[in-house]
Amino acid sequence: MSKLSFALLLCLSSFGFVEAQSPVDLPAVMTKIEEQTKVMLFNSEAAASKPVRYNHPEDTVVSLFSPRTLENGNLKLVASRDWTSGFFPGELWMLYGYTGSKEWRQAAEIYTGIMEREKTNATTHDMGFKIYCSFGTGYRLTKDKAYRDVIIQSARTLSTRFNPKIGCIRSWDHHRNLWDFPVIIDNMMNLELLFEATRLTGDSSFYRIAVSHANTTMKNHYRPDYSSFHVVDYDTVTGQVRRKMTYQGANDSSAWARGQAWGLYAYTMCYRYTHDGRYLEQAEHIASFILHHPNLPADKVPYWDFNAPGIPGAGASATGAEPRDASAAAIIASGLYELCQYSRNAGEYRAVANTILKSLTDHYRSPIGANKGFILLHSTGGKPSNTEVDVPINYADYYYLEALLRSAPQHRS
């Protein structure tokens, strides 16, 4: 085991991981992922030759650089402002962490460097997705002080979106005709950046914001069965809930699959940083909802919404198969691998995570060289708006790769 691999193992162990056997042939799968990611690098570099003006008046001309998905078979690149822009740099860092290869580190540094401009972008709540998946993953592996500084500045920027009256970080600034202060379940994932900023600086203000957001979300987003609403809108004057609804789910009362996955993963992460038993219990309750839902298929890769009307057997309106969401499955698997380190239900969680990982590996992977280099197929981004339906998506690849590494963190080349 190399010094780099040993350092990474120590880092993973600090997250609560222990030795385990992966349900797949990890070295063989990782070799294939390296091959496929080289295809992605080639196609991304070829497609990123022309700078464009992004559709935001405060922007100057920027470059599209980060591969997000396929549109009509063509590679779609996004600028750093896009909420998904940090996932591909994070994938490159994970490949570097696994292999120790200078080639992967150089590529990761290039793609991560483009993200730095986002550290002062206060128009978005997605700072964790963008900065922590890129700079955060890089910092864990390199301890580069410049990366540390970007993480801290990004946490300061994200903190400006916190409303103490409500107790949450504002999610979206768009569609102000629909809501006053929207908070989406996805926003829980951005708290890791804040927790980490407190760990790096000793400044507890980031920690307090993260805990407030997690507690308020736990109170208002979750139903008695521990399924989650997608959007909760708050009144900025009173701090009270105005409306609970969806923007990407089947309907306001449904359980949008990726939203359930975000909650499972995020409350597990919150327990890691706080050791607050309420977060562990919340993660266990969410896991129970997902794992025991009658509409969860045998391969444990969920339909895009647990209450989608076309799921076979879902009711009289079921007319055909609904699309699956491999991205939700990858997030669930990664979250379960961590949760099983803390929970008395570890055996069940690991068994389901193993089933998901094997299903994704055996039946949802792209052939090497195909699909412009994306790893997983069959993800669903926004079914109600008919966007990114049954396509590869970069965050599916990111969490799949993370789940692979979490499945057997002691196995390093």
Q: Are residues 212 and 319 in the same domain?
A: no
Q: Are residues 278 and 393 in the same domain?
A: yes
Q: Is residue 112 part of a domain?
A: no
Type of residue at 335: G
In the chain, % helix, strand, coil (3-state, to 5) comes to 50, 15, 35
Q: Are residues 235 and 261 in the same domain?
A: no
Q: Is residue 143 part of a domain?
A: no
Q: Are residues 298 and 178 in the same domain?
A: no
Q: What is the reported pLDDT for 344?
A: 97
Q: What is the reported pLDDT for 49?
A: 60
Place of tokens 């794992």: 291
Q: Phi/psi of residue 158, each to 5°?
A: -60, -35
Q: Which residue range is the domain that position 217 belongs to?
A: 161-245
Q: What is the reported pLDDT for 409?
A: 66
Q: Are residues 282 and 207 in the same domain?
A: no
**Cβ–Cβ under 8 Å, residues 35 and 358:** no
User: For residue 274, which of 390, 391, 351, 192 has the smallest C-alpha distance?
Assistant: 192
Q: Is residue 107 part of a domain?
A: no
State the CATH number of the domain containing residue 349.
Answer: 1.50.10.10
Q: Is residue 174 part of a domain?
A: yes
Q: Are residues 395 and 365 in the same domain?
A: yes
Q: Is residue 80 part of a domain?
A: no
Helix-then-strand count for the chain, H and E: 14, 11
Q: Are residues 322 and 346 in the same domain?
A: yes
Structure tokens at 210: 């993260």
**Cβ–Cβ under 8 Å, residues 398 and 69:** no
Place of tokens 């629909």: 178
Query: How many domains, the chain?
Result: 2
Q: Phi/psi of residue 388, each to 5°?
A: 55, 55
Q: What is the reported pLDDT for 159?
A: 98
pLDDT along the chain (413 residues), means of 10: 38 45 95 98 85 51 87 95 97 98 97 97 97 98 98 98 98 90 98 98 98 98 98 97 97 98 98 98 98 97 96 57 96 98 97 98 98 98 96 98 90 38
Across-strand partners of 69?
76, 393
pLDDT digits (tens, 9 = 90+) for 33-90: 999 999 999 999 998 865 555 455 444 556 899 999 999 999 999 999 999 999 999 9
Q: Are residues 226 and 365 in the same domain?
A: no
Q: Are residues 286 and 209 in the same domain?
A: no
Among 214, 245, 276, give the residue marking a domain's end. Answer: 245
Among 186, 220, 245, give the residue marking a domain's end. Answer: 245
Q: How far apart are the first and last CA of the chain?
A: 7
Q: What is the reported pLDDT for 50?
A: 57
Q: What is the reported pLDDT for 62?
A: 62
DSSP character string of 299-318: TS--BSBTT-TTSTTS-TT-
Structure tokens at 331: 């997030």
**Cβ–Cβ under 8 Å, residues 219 and 226:** no
Say how far apart CA 114 and CA 139 lie, in whole Å.
15
Q: What is the reported pLDDT for 20?
A: 75
What's the pTM value of the predicted model, to 2 decimals? 0.92
Q: Is residue 14 part of a domain?
A: no
Vertex 43, ends 38 and 45: CA angle to 5°?
Answer: 95
Q: Is residue 369 part of a domain?
A: yes
Distances in Å between the Cα of 4 and the Cα atoms of 8, 100, 105, 142, 180 are 6, 6, 12, 9, 48
Q: Are residues 359 and 309 in the same domain?
A: yes
Among 245, 268, 291, give the residue marking a domain's end. Answer: 245
Catalytic (active-site) positions:
126, 186
The order of strands in the sheet holding 241-245 is 181-184, 231-234, 241-245
Q: Are residues 272 and 309 in the same domain?
A: yes
Q: Are residues 328 and 404 in the same domain?
A: yes
Q: What is the reported pLDDT for 321?
A: 81
